[in-house]
Amino acid sequence: MLHRTDTLDTLYIKTYGCQMNEYDSSRMADLMHEAYGLRLVGVPEDADVILMNTCSVREKAEEKVYSELGRYRLLKEQRPDMIIGVGGCVGQQEGERIQQRAPYVDMVFGPQTYHKLPEMVKRIRRERVRLTEIDMPEIEKFDHLPKAAHSGHSAFVTIMEGCDKFCTFCVVPYTRGPELSRPVVDVLRECREVLAGGAVELTLLGQNVNGFLGIGPDGEEWDFSMLLYAVAELDGLKRLRFTTSHPMEVNDGLITAFAELDILMPYLHLPVQSGSDRLLKAMHRGHDRAHYLHLIEQLREARPGLALSSDFIVGFPGETETDFGQTLDLVREVGFDSAFCFNYSPRPGTPAAKVADSVPKEVKDERLQALLAVTRELTKKSHQACIGRTETLLVERESRSEGDMQGRTPDFKIVHFKGKKRLTGQLLPICISEAYGQSLRGDLMLTEHG
């Protein structure tokens, strides 16, 4: 039976996209809880307010949104008082077009305007209007967000927003706006809040997190490595991570932080996109292959055993077999532990979308498969090398198979093991016994914990 109420009680949020969206969704939940006492539910059928937090980084993003909205339309027909909102990067890009195509959507907002949600909901209920809020305000949304609620043992904290890099294929600078760093004291305050709430691991977030340049407590600008040293000192913190970093923002301070800060986990996601200098230039990445390889060398010297992962785009306009071969070659040369590989898709409004999407779909697919074969082989190798090792695991949750739990090693590998739910949040030694494509299996060393 459908949930029915005159007051607003429940909230459902559907989240797509990157960790920044996950963070934003949890902050939207905090906001709506504070303003209306809304409690999160697991299915849209039970919700008085449905929010979609969308992503437009790759193809068919808009279509996915409209097809999901079609489901919500049926709910709204039965309960006209419910409120439907579309936020995130598709919201920002499409704006009012969403309500023209889906008039049952009450509000559209972007990644920089979700702090206005309580006010928008109030107006919608009072005036029965449809609202679009996608102006990028000067003021910071962070000033309007309530205290971060309990966010589990591993918590995200956004430290900077937006992107000024304008890679030619990417929508993010248009959807998230310009780069903006939070003041250091605000970041530290939020970190302390989530640590007090039980988190032991923090992941600092930003589209180019290492491009952080925020006002420090001394009134000077602090760069990312200065922030890392300050966060590393916080009481209760056991593990520190960050994502996503940009090669052009890796400086000596960050390399030294990897050498000096044990609490900084030995894993770095450093997207490179391509191994071809010609394409790196066309993509406007700001560096060449040699620069990237040099950074990797310095980072590995600073932190032996550092696990590396990256993002790759296959079939960028004009990509030849030679360009692609250089990408495969770079992947083998670096020996990434893992990789996220995507077919290029033209995104509306980006410079690359103005030139022909020249690599045929079959060729893109073929190249993607070839790249995946190489990266999977590397992942397998790095997993097999773990067998027999003892690792410290942060236990995250129950895994899908019954009686099993899962957690992460310092270098971000997933390990499954037999264990009880009450181990969640603990750091425990585990001996790795088996290696699979996506994960590892191990046995807890201290049986009394089991």
| Burial annotation 335-352 (CB, 10 A radius, 16+ → b, else e) | ebbbbebbbbbebeebeb
243 binds ligand SAM (CB under 6 A): no
- Minimum distance between the CB of residue 168 and ligand SF4, rounded to whole angstroms? 8
Cis peptide, bond prior to residue 244, ω within 30 of zero:
yes
Q: How many CA atoms lie within 13 A of 21 on its CB side?
A: 24
- Minimum distance between the CB of residue 246 and ligand SAM, rounded to whole angstroms? 5
Instruction: Tell me which stretch binds ligand F3S (CB under 6 A): 17-25, 71-79, 279-287, 366-374.
Output: 17-25
| Residues 245-304, interacting with ligand SF4 (CB under 6 A) | 246
| Residues 171-210, interacting with ligand SF4 (CB under 6 A) | 172-173, 207-208
- Residue 54 pairs in a beta bridge with 88
211 binds ligand SAM (CB under 6 A): no
| 296 residue type, one letter | I
| Residues 34-63, interacting with ligand F3S (CB under 6 A) | 55-57
Q: State how far the Cα of 240 lies from the Cα of 200, in Å rounded to an integer.
A: 9
Contact 237, 262 (CB under 8 A): no
246 binds ligand SAM (CB under 6 A): yes
Answer for which of 76, 176, 364, 416 binds ligand F3S (CB under 6 A) is 176
User: CB under 5 to 8 A by kind: which of ligand SF4, ligand F3S, ligand SAM, none does 20 bind?
Assistant: ligand F3S
* Binding footprint of ligand SF4, residue count (CB under 6 A): 10
When the beta carbons of 88 and 410 are compared against ligand F3S, the nearer one is 88
- Residue 86 pairs in a beta bridge with 52, 108
191 binds ligand F3S (CB under 6 A): no
| 55 residue type, one letter | C
Answer for which of 10, 25, 113, 175 binds ligand F3S (CB under 6 A) is 175
Torsion angle (degrees, nearest 10) of CA 336, 337, 342, 343 = 50
User: CB under 5 to 8 A by kind: which of ligand F3S, ligand SAM, ligand SF4, none does 379 bind?
Assistant: none
163 binds ligand SF4 (CB under 6 A): yes
Q: State how far the Cα of 84 lies from the Cα of 106, in Å rounded to an integer.
A: 5
Q: State how far the Cα of 356 lies from the Cα of 345, in Å rounded to an integer.
A: 11
When the beta carbons of 37 and 360 are compared against ligand SAM, the nearer one is 360
Q: Where are the beta strands (DSSP E) in 159-200?
A: 160-161, 180-181
Instruction: Tell me which stretch binds ligand SAM (CB under 6 A): 65-73, 164-172, 286-294, 358-366.
Output: 164-172
208 binds ligand SAM (CB under 6 A): yes
What is the number of other CB atoms lying within 10 angstroms of the CB of residue 434? 15
What would the DSSP string read from start to end of 378-444?
HHHHHHHTTTT-EEEEEEEEE-SSTTEEEEE-TT--EEEEE--GGGTT-EEEEEEEEE-SS-EEEEE
- Residue 443 pairs in a beta bridge with 431
Matching residue, tokens 């992107």? 163
314 binds ligand SF4 (CB under 6 A): no
Instruction: Tell me which stretch binds ligand SF4 (CB under 6 A): 99-107, 168-176, 228-236, 425-433.
Output: 168-176
Phi, psi of 40 (to 5 degrees): -70, 140
* Binding footprint of ligand SAM, residue count (CB under 6 A): 18
Contact 27, 34 (CB under 8 A): no
- Minimum distance between the CB of residue 273 and ligand SAM, rounded to whole angstroms? 5
Instruction: Tell me which stretch binds ligand SF4 (CB under 6 A): 42-50, 166-174, 315-323, 430-438.
Output: 166-174
Tell me which residue of 421, 422, 397 sits closest to 408, measured CA to CA: 397
* Binding footprint of ligand F3S, residue count (CB under 6 A): 13
- Minimum distance between the CB of residue 66 and ligand SF4, rounded to whole angstroms? 24
What is the number of other CB atoms lying within 10 angstroms of the CB of residue 224? 26
Q: State how far the Cα of 140 lies from the Cα of 118, in Å rounded to an integer.
A: 16
**Quick one: DSSP state of residue 351?**
G
165 binds ligand SF4 (CB under 6 A): yes
**Quick one: DSSP state of residue 17?**
S
- Minimum distance between the CB of residue 196 and ligand SF4, rounded to whole angstroms? 32
89 binds ligand F3S (CB under 6 A): yes
Answer for which of 23, 114, 169, 417 binds ligand SAM (CB under 6 A) is 169
When the beta carbons of 32 and 341 are compared against ligand SF4, the nearer one is 341
Q: Note the residues at the interface with ligand SF4 (CB under 6 A).
A: 163, 165-167, 170, 172-173, 207-208, 246
Chain residues binding ligand SAM by CB under 6 A are 18, 57-58, 169-170, 172, 207-208, 244, 246, 271, 273, 311, 313, 342, 344-345, 347
Residue ranges binding ligand F3S (CB under 6 A): 17-18, 20-21, 55-57, 88-89, 171-172, 175-176
